[in-house]
Structure 1
């Protein structure tokens, strides 16, 4: 007997359920009608089919090829209702809790995944059932692939079943000709436009007569009625596009694992907890479980409300070798501390009665000072919070806690999870539980909707206990799993020697902040406002009327219709007035040059002159936040405000740096790595010519021009040097001949010759870049010199543009990531040296390859020595690491 596989069209069935089941919400305010209807349908079909394998396919948010085709022709698709949208991720969680495999992939529709897996399963010898409300899938029907389409009849759901003959009997065409039908008659539900004026009856007659739209078009003069003939002649392009939209890809790029799809007992304890929380009481009878895993875990979470009991607990915690903790806060207010000390030893200590915030935080600090292994989430923010809530002596305790001798006790599981997969958006407890513990825990929304924690703590203490308990429980359980995976991937040293010490360096930098001259900032804004006003007046005069310069639509009409400029690209929303379009017009039209300057200055004013003013604290300093788990390459980012994006290319933008000043008795010292990525490329590629050039301290861009263009070194022109510089840095980013031609305003052929000559000059660079791509394809990730991994899913994409992007990233990630690692090492070493030598000077900012220090005037010489030694010695490369160092009374002078 052949094994069976059931494939479910997730979005189709949940969409049908949403509109077919009366609106339901659980006590937490979550809409549940679509989930309820979906599960009812699934259970019914499972009882009938009894499959050996089961998978549910979903669409993803990223628009697919077919979506884009439709949008380009007809506008936008109708968005999913918010009440349905919120249920989709919950349904996926329920399915995963049942052990049911789901599949989705950016760039592919669920139809494509279903078609591909259905055909592969048939070839494997399986009987296939595809469950969907979408009749497009009828094109997949064969003797061994059955399409089941649910249909409501008299309030009861029945299913229509289709093998090949069933399709012919019902529609008079073969399964594959369903595509032809859709191409003519369209389908609004599936966003297929079809041919206006041709309905189902006419479409069926045409396909029965001619077999395909192409053959019908070849015999268009024979078509009757005349209305159908004229419609196909006029709108054949729509028929062709509709056919593409209706055609399911049965061989898409997706690795399907039948072993993972093997159906086990879906009535798991985790699923029981989910359905109980969703309040699907009539479904719970399907389960034969006594105490689900989640319930057992949750029962072990204990509230400790008595001061004496809390003191005893925290005293025991001081003797515990390993623990995990989490603080529950509402803004700055501390609500409770959750603490996990062992397998079934999770405690929640709320702030209430005699357990005050000061007492609890003080005791926590003592516990942390004694513990040898501490797991937490967001350690940097936690340390900042602890310091902000304590008095002077308490703040010193926190700083001692973050001292070198105790740093190794801490483990931030957010950073661990980030290293293991830097492409994810979130590394919270829910994600950690699901990915590393195979445990589905209730989300905050599921537990208490959008209510504030303070309200939940008072009005729903049971939900609060579960929420707070998981906060530390998951960290405790996940820590050893994460550590083991770090060892498996060879990133344990990277984590311990680089990422974790960096937490404390960044915390110190954020605490220090950088001083800002508020008056100078206001004057800068006023100066910008005057110039913006002048430009507005000039632009109105040149246009001959006033209009909204910030409106792309109005600006497009002025430039390309009223003033008749050439080169306008009209879209469905109007003319494009992007920087790329305007920059090409600027040399010939003064108004365009003025508009570009206007845009630049208004951005400077809003983002920096006005924007930065709101971040100046009572200490007259701006305290940015450095994000350690955002970028895929390992680079740091800066937020609230972003001080890594201060303009440097335009003089007026650079002048914003004048408002950043040192404290009294100090100067700012700025040290910037010289061409660090090119030096990393020289080392990692092992190219002798590039290594020799750096060792001999030659002008690398002039040398490249000399060798590429075969002219003497001292005869290289400035233009040739600039072009060589563009090639040098472009190569690092995997630049194409098209990209280089755009950058240098040369033909694509000339750009290709430049690149070819470059690789002839530095042959091992080409070998290295090709090797990076091949290794990334084989291993699935790119790797830096220090072992940091950047997963490369783009290389497996079925989309050519995505694969090309992936290849460029595979070339660049090892170089950019290594450079980012080196600057991190330098930051840690510089910060430690300053502290170890008892200096008052402090590291303030890191901006890409540059470090900014506020140096005491009497420590200036020592600071410069430390910067030079630690930055140049941060890594051992086959070429020297060099820095450019300046000092000044503001950041502008120092840069």
Structure 2
């Protein structure tokens, strides 16, 4: 008998993305979700369906958005790594010969539901390939669900077993429960068991509504409070089965596959098993008994069995065992270590235990702080640390960690300075492939070892029931903690070999990233002094101005409204005041974000007032209210945390608090910096690279005009203006310099003529003329940009001056927007990445000198191209001379690096 297979492509794409490891292809492009889809499609083809279709959501709003404007409103945007896989997915689906259906105005569910019932009416058995629970409402004799990710098949009995209701009751079950993913609010505290119990008793949603008064307790009150929205819920979760379609089920036949296209795609994305199958080799997948397709499995090179086998772990609670392990550590070439604590803040965390490994598969855990009732006796913490000090404190003994800066802080807090920190698997992964995947241990173990680690929640629980690690039973704690050290060592075996095969990347790791770890640890531990009273004064002032802005906004509107409500604001601006909605949300609704308000700020006073209010609120909520609460009570200082493995370009980021985004172009932003102060008798010193990315552009492009401008010590923006506008240097106007500055910086970030026109407030044609003049005067810049684009297309990545790579997965995308974005990144990344490398090199050099004078000066902060110090007043001149020299010699470029210096009693004065 003929059979129809309908594939829920949109659902599977997301499920494969979250279920499978973050795999990458030979060019570094993300392929995890794509791999899952390909295996699922190949498994489907093995079953030889008579009719089939791959159904995906169309872009734009659907009829459900009209019913309920907040439908799916809380869904986050598609992750960039997933978005990059959509276009290749569609190309592979098409090359395999699957009909692709995408119908505007409805969801993929509705298209599948319509086809399923049409085929059912024609007597054609239907299999819906999906993992979405909503499709259970369609199940009946002749319509089943299959999940190729798990190999499960769901028929009518399966729906009852899984949901506790009949298929025809599933819609009502979903209406009562609600759906957080789609932002459909159900009955508060009503889960699947409660909803199923009501439906068993009253049969339908209508029956539940009719008997709502009979249901007692708090849950009954919640039901009665939700009665008004339940019919809407029912409409939102009901799959539409009467969508007008151009094709009937019997027309959905597979086309002949495009072997050449598949060969190119499989090779490009590293799908070797699929490629072998295509070329007539061994089949890549087989069906399970009963015709169920095999679940998709990650197509990775088989890991070394010795690196993926279970480990043998020892819990050290006696002096004899501790002594034996210390001797083993002293004899090892490399020691992997990790700490367990009671806090995520390393500067306030208490040590609970330590773990060590010196060979794969064998590790120990030394507990020192488990205090649950009945906990076995443990060695005293200080005794353990004293025994380990010859290992941890010896610079000649190489140590290895995973994000080891945290552990360095913890041990320093407990009186042990870790020296000889030589390897870090997080940084190895980051340098090897900065943008390919996350760099946490669990992700790396899954990708490189095929090893599934024990999660913290497995031993400590989660949510409100989570216990501190000090309360975890020693057997569980040993299994979890010792594994951390063991897996870190295993990962190093794999990642160090990968870096060794790429000498330029290994040099970045060895010469830049690893030497920076102890530097950042010292800066974080030093912290910065803040004037809490000054911040509170600023908060009060910002609050008064916010209130004044709110009152003025109410006067203009002629009524009170919530300035923080996008919905109320949108209704006021676009429905009542009839202002043009120039910027739309992804669903097509008028946007009230900053860009949208800026676009209409010249047409009415209210948008500008809202922007002012939001700016004040952001400063207050992010800085003046929050920073005083983050001062460490033990040190009286503010301690940020720097991240080396955050930005793919290599730039450092900071958080808790983020001190790199304090506004400097506004008076209010600069006022916040006045609260960052030096103690009596000391000064704040700020050393900032001048126009470093422009200087790097001059170096990379070798443009004669740009080099000449820097070599002569001219104001480079003024010199650019003189070149572009053809006027003498001393006759350049302020507007011309401003335009030249916008061009200089804009081109580095890939700014288009439209973007430049918007920034300068001129016509697009005029902006295009400016850019043409610029390239005519600086042809080397134009040639460099084209050269970089071409190299990126050929290599799939770009490099900094020092060899750091940025993978560009979408550089050859058929999607014009994705390709253009990758081209902009290709031009900018070498400059931004080189600037990041330079300041990191400078920090290592400066720290080496500062350590010899640490009683007189301290390096406190790194903010993009700026280093901030605290120094004795009488030592400032010496510090400035040495720091300037070391920063300016951190790279040997064709143009000199220049460092601007400021000194003051607070950070603002030092600018």
TM-score (structure 1 length as normaliser): 0.71
User: Which of 379, 383, 398 is residue 355 of structure 1 equivalent to?
Assistant: 379
2:408–2:521 CA contact under 8 A, matched in 1:
yes
Q: Is 1:590 aligned to 2:573, yes or no? A: no
Q: How far is the alpha carbon of 1:576 from its aligned partner? A: 2.8
Match of 1:531 in 2: 545
Q: Give the 3-state SS of the residue equivalent to 1:874 in structure 2.
A: coil
1:560–1:568 CA contact under 8 A, matched in 2:
no
Q: Deviations over 1:854-885 (max 9, x none)?
A: 01112111101012101111111110100111
Instruction: State the alpha-carbon separation in 2 of the partners of residues 458 and 594 from structure 1.
Output: 53
Q: Give the 3-state SS of the residue equivalent to 1:667 in structure 2.
A: strand
Match of 2:533 in 1: 519
Instruction: State the alpha-carbon separation in 1 of the partners of residues 576 and 428 from structure 2.
Output: 58
Match of 2:596 in 1: 581
User: Which of 391, 395, 412 is residue 367 of structure 1 equivalent to?
Assistant: 391
Task: Identify if the C-alpha distance between structure 1 residues 566 and 110 changes in structure 2 by more than 3 Å, giving closer, same or farther.
Answer: closer
Instruction: State the alpha-carbon separation in 1 of the partners of residues 546 and 883 from structure 2.
Output: 40
Q: Deviations over 1:744-802 (max 9, x none)?
A: 11122211111111111111111111111111221111110011111111213342211
Q: How far is the alpha carbon of 1:253 from its aligned partner? A: 7.0
Greater fraction of residues in helix? 1
Match of 1:717 in 2: 733
Q: Deviations over 1:396-447 (max 9, x none)?
A: x41xx44xxx3xx521111111111222563222222232234344544567
1:627–1:636 CA contact under 8 A, matched in 2:
yes
Q: Is 1:749 aligned to 2:765, yes or no? A: yes
Q: Deviations over 1:67-92 (max 9, x none)?
A: 5565997679988999xx9xxxxxxx
Which structure 2 residues correspond to residues 451-490 of structure 1 after superposition, within 5 A? 463-489=476-502, 490=504
Task: Identify if the C-alpha distance between structure 1 residues 577 and 464 changes in structure 2 by more than 3 Å, giving closer, same or farther.
Answer: same
Task: Identify if the C-alpha distance between structure 1 residues 71 and 343 changes in structure 2 by more than 3 Å, giving closer, same or farther.
Answer: farther
Task: Identify if the C-alpha distance between structure 1 residues 312 and 600 changes in structure 2 by more than 3 Å, giving closer, same or farther.
Answer: same
Match of 1:548 in 2: 562
Q: How far is the alpha carbon of 1:671 from its aligned partner? A: 1.1
Task: Identify if the C-alpha distance between structure 1 residues 794 and 340 changes in structure 2 by more than 3 Å, giving closer, same or farther.
Answer: same
Match of 1:96 in 2: none
Q: Give the 3-state SS of the residue equivalent to 1:430 in structure 2.
A: helix
Match of 1:419 in 2: 431
Mean CA deviation greater in 664-673 or 432-441: 432-441
1:58–1:104 CA contact under 8 A, matched in 2:
no
Q: How far is the alpha carbon of 1:198 from its aligned partner? A: 9.4
Task: Identify if the C-alpha distance between structure 1 residues 499 and 570 changes in structure 2 by more than 3 Å, giving closer, same or farther.
Answer: closer
Match of 2:353 in 1: 336
Task: Identify if the C-alpha distance between structure 1 residues 76 and 634 changes in structure 2 by more than 3 Å, giving closer, same or farther.
Answer: farther
Q: How far is the alpha carbon of 1:484 from its aligned partner? A: 2.1
Q: Is 1:782 aligned to 2:794, yes or no? A: no
Could you list the runs of 5+ residues in structure 1 that have no partner in the other structure? 1-5, 18-38, 52-56, 86-102, 121-132, 139-145, 160-190, 213-249, 269-282, 284-291
Match of 1:876 in 2: 892
Task: Identify if the C-alpha distance between structure 1 residues 386 and 197 changes in structure 2 by more than 3 Å, giving closer, same or farther.
Answer: closer
Match of 1:115 in 2: 93
User: Which of 730, 749, 753 is residue 737 of structure 1 equivalent to?
Assistant: 753
User: Which of 332, 346, 356 is residue 363 of structure 2 equivalent to?
Assistant: 346
Q: How far is the alpha carbon of 1:456 from its aligned partner? A: 8.0
User: Which of 765, 772, 786 is residue 770 of structure 1 equivalent to?
Assistant: 786
Match of 1:100 in 2: none
TM-score (structure 2 length as normaliser): 0.70
Q: Give the 3-state SS of the residue equivalent to 1:711 in structure 2.
A: coil
Match of 1:695 in 2: 711
Which structure 2 residues correspond to residues 73-472 of structure 1 after superposition, within 5 A? 106=84, 108=86, 112=90, 115-116=93-94, 118-119=96-97, 199=242, 255=268, 257=270, 259-261=272-274, 297-298=309-310, 300-331=312-343, 332-351=349-368, 353-370=377-394, 372-388=397-413, 390=414, 394=415, 397-398=416-417, 401-402=418-419, 406=420, 409-424=421-436, 426-445=438-457, 450=462, 463-472=476-485
Instruction: State the alpha-carbon separation in 2 of the partners of residues 661 and 622 from structure 1.
Output: 11
User: Which of 853, 859, 866 is residue 875 of structure 2 equivalent to?
Assistant: 859
Instruction: State the alpha-carbon separation in 1 of the partners of residues 45 and 8 from structure 2.
Output: 17
Instruction: State the alpha-carbon separation in 1 of the partners of residues 556 and 795 from structure 2.
Output: 58
Task: Identify if the C-alpha distance between structure 1 residues 508 and 460 changes in structure 2 by more than 3 Å, giving closer, same or farther.
Answer: closer
The structure, 1 or 2, with the larger RCO (C-alpha pairs under 8 Å, 6+ apart) is 2
Q: How far is the alpha carbon of 1:639 from its aligned partner? A: 0.3
Instruction: State the alpha-carbon separation in 1 of the partners of residues 12 and 717 from structure 2.
Output: 60
2:273–2:284 CA contact under 8 A, matched in 1:
no
1:429–1:470 CA contact under 8 A, matched in 2:
no
| Pairs aligned (count) | 715
Q: Give the 3-state SS of the residue equivalent to 1:644 in structure 2.
A: coil
Match of 1:66 in 2: 58
Q: Is 1:656 aligned to 2:672, yes or no? A: yes
Instruction: State the alpha-carbon separation in 2 of the partners of residues 424 and 669 from structure 1.
Output: 38
Q: How far is the alpha carbon of 1:265 from its aligned partner? A: 11
Task: Identify if the C-alpha distance between structure 1 residues 709 and 663 changes in structure 2 by more than 3 Å, giving closer, same or farther.
Answer: same
Which structure 2 residues correspond to residues 626-637 of structure 1 after superposition, within 5 A? 626-637=642-653
RMSD: 4.6
Q: How far is the alpha carbon of 1:586 from its aligned partner? A: 3.3
Which structure 2 residues correspond to residues 816-855 of structure 1 after superposition, within 5 A? 816-837=832-853, 840-855=856-871
Instruction: State the alpha-carbon separation in 1 of the partners of residues 805 and 602 from structure 2.
Output: 44
1:843–1:854 CA contact under 8 A, matched in 2:
yes
Could you list the runs of 5+ residues in structure 2 that have no partner in the other structure? 17-35, 99-110, 117-124, 130-137, 147-181, 183-235, 253-260, 287-294, 296-303, 344-348, 369-375
Instruction: State the alpha-carbon separation in 1 of the partners of residues 308 and 798 from structure 2.
Output: 41
Task: Identify if the C-alpha distance between structure 1 residues 77 and 603 changes in structure 2 by more than 3 Å, giving closer, same or farther.
Answer: closer
Task: Identify if the C-alpha distance between structure 1 residues 72 and 488 changes in structure 2 by more than 3 Å, giving closer, same or farther.
Answer: farther
Q: Give the 3-state SS of the residue equivalent to 1:724 in structure 2.
A: helix
Q: How far is the alpha carbon of 1:566 from its aligned partner? A: 4.8
2:114–2:240 CA contact under 8 A, matched in 1:
no
Task: Identify if the C-alpha distance between structure 1 residues 116 and 468 changes in structure 2 by more than 3 Å, giving closer, same or farther.
Answer: farther
Q: Deviations over 1:291-343 (max 9, x none)?
A: x9699943522233323212221233122222211223332343432211224
Task: Identify if the C-alpha distance between structure 1 residues 846 and 761 changes in structure 2 by more than 3 Å, giving closer, same or farther.
Answer: same
Task: Identify if the C-alpha distance between structure 1 residues 580 and 253 changes in structure 2 by more than 3 Å, giving closer, same or farther.
Answer: farther
Q: Give the 3-state SS of the residue equivalent to 2:340 in structure 1.
A: strand
Match of 1:242 in 2: none
Match of 2:660 in 1: 644
Q: How far is the alpha carbon of 1:667 from its aligned partner? A: 0.6
